Amino acid sequence: MLKRSVTVLAPAKLNLSLDVVGTLPNGYHDLDMVMQTIDLYEKITLRRSNGLSLTLPGSFVPVNDKNTAIKAAVAFFRYTGLLAGVDMTIYKRVPVRAGMAGGSADAAGVLVGLNELYDAHLSMSELCAIGAGIGADVPFALLGGTCRVRGVGDLMKALPPCPACWFVVAMPSVGVSTPEAFARYDTMGSPVHPDCEAQEQAIRAEDLAAVCAAAGNALEHCSGAEETPSICAILRENGALTAQMTGSGAAVFGVFDDETAARAALAALRPSYRQCYLCRPTHGGPRVTVRRPMFEKNS
């Protein structure tokens, strides 16, 4: 039995908290974060091929060697030594330059899908090791769920599931460049430093109010995203327990303990923001959803 294609759903992420706690010896920022995957997915279809191609229907994301999906495929074949290829089609739904790790989700989904397509039997540890060479958020994108993440994204601790809630996410009209956001942080600093340890303990206690009380994003102050305050205000006016930017921006989200309030917030945002989503927390990373086996005769 030979698999000819697989389809993978790869979830986006939100930062329930993000703090910059120092600088590492290599010059990168030392981060402390609580990260959460959500049920907003990139859909990735992989087909066996003798070559390597990527199609992004309806997306303006460049298709070149810098694309994380192509990097992931190249890294997978290099690691496994397989003399094979893949045709990749990614239906992007996660906003770009949003701080939601859409590119990392693509890379993670490709690694998981290729592992299935070619029956490579790589462990999660091996996939994460490959992913770390592609991007800082890729190991978390592979693991998914709720995690305390430190360093540059390389130190992960899986946490119990986030307390049940709804997320309302809105993408402003302009995205944020991650390098530029960190450069501004180096110049401006931040008045916000969330208590990630308190948030971890609140998650373990299944206390959503305490999770929200400990939330925050040290990069929000210096992201340069001008629409963040107004989006946060709309979310809070409609019952959000907390509202903040995710990652280095520019997407903003609110946390709700009531679905009706969450839907009201979504309705309030939609006239002004084209990309708005109602989401729930998820408990894992990319998953294969379609398997199409084909029996082939031996020649």
**Which residues does the annotation mark as catalytic?**
13, 137
Whole-prediction pTM: 0.94
User: Has residue 295 got a pLDDT over 60?
Assistant: no
Evaluate whether 123 touches 115 at the Cβ level (below 8 Å).
no
Nearest to 40 by CA among 151, 147, 141: 141
Q: What does the DSSP assignment read for 180-216?
A: HHHHHHHHH--S----HHHHHHHHHTT-HHHHHHT-E
Q: What percent of the chain stands above pLDDT 90?
A: 89
pLDDT band at 290 (very low <50, low <70, confident <90, very high): low
For residue 101, cis peptide bond before it (omega within 30 degrees of 0): no
Give me the residue label for tokens 């609580």: 34
Tell me the two tokens of residue 256.
């709700």
Q: What percent of the chain stands above pLDDT 70?
A: 97
C-alpha radius of gyration, the chain, whole number: 19
Summary mean pLDDT of the chain: 94
Model confidence over 1-12: pLDDT tens digits? 789 999 999 999
CA distances 89 to 37, 46, 58, Å, are 22, 7, 11
pLDDT band at 94 (very low <50, low <70, confident <90, very high): very high
